[in-house]
Structure formats: C-alpha cells, structure tokens
Structure 1
C-alpha cells in the first residue's frame, strides 16, 4: 500500500482475492500514532484492535462488503478514530 494514503487501499483489499495464504490470510492498516489496526479477512470480517494496548479488547464487524471495508479502512487512514469506534463493532475476533 502507498504508505499513509487512501490511494493504495483498493489494491490492498484486492490482495484478499489472490491465492490463499493460510499464514497471513488478512490485510491490515495501522495508525502509527494511536496503535489502532483494522484487519480485513477474505470472508468479510473486519477486526479492530490496538496492538500497543490490549485494552480495549479486540472487536469485529462480520459480513462486511468490500465497499464498506474500504470506507472503514479510509476512516483509519484519515485518523478519524471517533467515527471508527462508533461503528457497530462486536466483541472479540469473530
């Protein structure tokens, strides 16, 4: 992905359509300032977690379309953590 830009997000999500990689099945974007990461999985699940601070605990959004995944990743790239946390996240990794 083009580091820190929205332009690389569609290509990043397209990687989910490539050959299956059991070791690394997801793609992710991390906000370096806050430590928040959103990971997208081929089945349509998004996971929100902070890798620097284990609390709050990981949350997930199931059944997300690619368009919605792009919107969520864009929120993180823009640093809009308030809007990101307002989404209907469910507890755990799903």
Structure 2
C-alpha cells in the first residue's frame, strides 16, 4: 500500500514523491555541507509521520501532528539504510519502522 507522501528537499522545497524518487532525494545529502538545510525528509500526508535524513548520517522519526509522540533518531546510518527506512514509511509499515533501534530525542 503506497501512501500520499511529501518530500522536503535540501533547498526547503516540498513536493509529492514516490518510492522510486527516494534514492535521488537521499543523493541530495551528498552536496556541500549546509547548516541551514542539512536534511531531506519524507512525510506520510495522512498520518503526519516523517523520516528526516541528515548529512551526518542521522535519521529522525517524528509525528508532526502529535506533540505527545517523542521524536527519536538513529545515528551513523548508511545511505542505503536511509532509503530502506524511508521506503518503509512510504509503504505505511509503521510497525516495522518502530521496531528499529531508535534512541529517544533528536540526537
């Protein structure tokens, strides 16, 4: 099952995306270091769950609409793993996402 998803690019632009577009979204992280725009993200528009990937190899999982859900993160994540985790979100596989070894907080 594929959800309606929104990509947020390094330049801050937002657009709809598909599973096939995730590798090119992650490739944006290989550009120059930019403290103002260090990440890209995929958001499930229906549930507001978001996975953000940062240039330093951090992934953040959070729910943008539910302040009671604490954000969590993974560190030293490979580009391939970033793609795999974002694909889980695109497929709506929240149980599998939540089974990963997340650490509470942003980093």
Q: TM-score range by the shorter chain?
A: over 0.9
Q: Which runs of 5+ in 2 are unaligned?
A: 1-6, 8-14
On the 8 A contact 1:4/1:77 being kept in 2, the answer is no
Q: Which runs of 5+ in 1 are unaligned?
A: none
Q: Residues 8-41 of structure 1, C-alpha deviation per residue, up to 9 Å, x if partnerless?
A: 0000000001123221110000001111000000
Q: Which residue of 2 aligns with 1:24?
A: 37
How many residue pairs get aligned? The number is 94
Q: Which residue of 2 aligns with 1:46?
A: 59
Equivalent residue of 2:20, what SS? coil
- 1:63 pairs, out of 73, 76, 83, with 76
User: TM-score normalised to the size of structure 2?
Assistant: 0.82
Q: Residues 46-93 of structure 1, C-alpha deviation per residue, up to 9 Å, x if partnerless?
A: 000001111211000011111111100000011111111111100000
Which structure has more strand as a fraction of its residues?
Answer: 2
User: TM-score normalised to the size of structure 1?
Assistant: 0.93
Equivalent residue of 1:68, what SS? helix
